Amino acid sequence: MGYDRIEEVSEQYPHFGGYLAGWGFVMNGDMTENIDRHRGFLELLCKVYPEYELTLPEYDNDEDYVEGNIECTGVSIRVYYENIIDYIQLWSANFQAMQSLHAAVVRLAV
């Protein structure tokens, strides 16, 4: 489930629209592995770290452009991924929440 690139947390706008600056990071794969990697990775993340609660739309065999949410101690973290280009962005207005999530992701994804 490795990713080729995991950015550091930085000030960003959410990929899925909106004009509210916040904090986020992007992860990319090499597009040759499992096309459904992001959902599986997010589900594993929330299983290993039960303080994270994942909400995604119902699975679709052809899913792409998926928006969801991770909740942790009352903080909302937005999830956006595209399977076809092997791209995922995680974003929140809360810097500390993103730093904690990033640390958990790096431990699991590398």
Please identify every stretch of the chain with a pLDDT value under 70, giving residue numbers as ranges: 1, 16-19, 31-35
Residues 6+ apart with CB under 8 A from 39: 56, 59, 63, 66, 81
Could you tell me the residue range of the domain that residue 44 belongs to?
A: 5-109
| Per-residue model confidence (pLDDT) at position 35 | 65
Provide the 8-state DSSP code for 9: P
Phi-psi region for residue 17, left (φ > 0), alpha (ψ -120 to 50) or beta?
left
| Per-residue model confidence (pLDDT) at position 33 | 60
Q: Residue 56: how many CB atoms within 10 A of its CB?
A: 17
Q: How many domains is the chain built from? A: 1
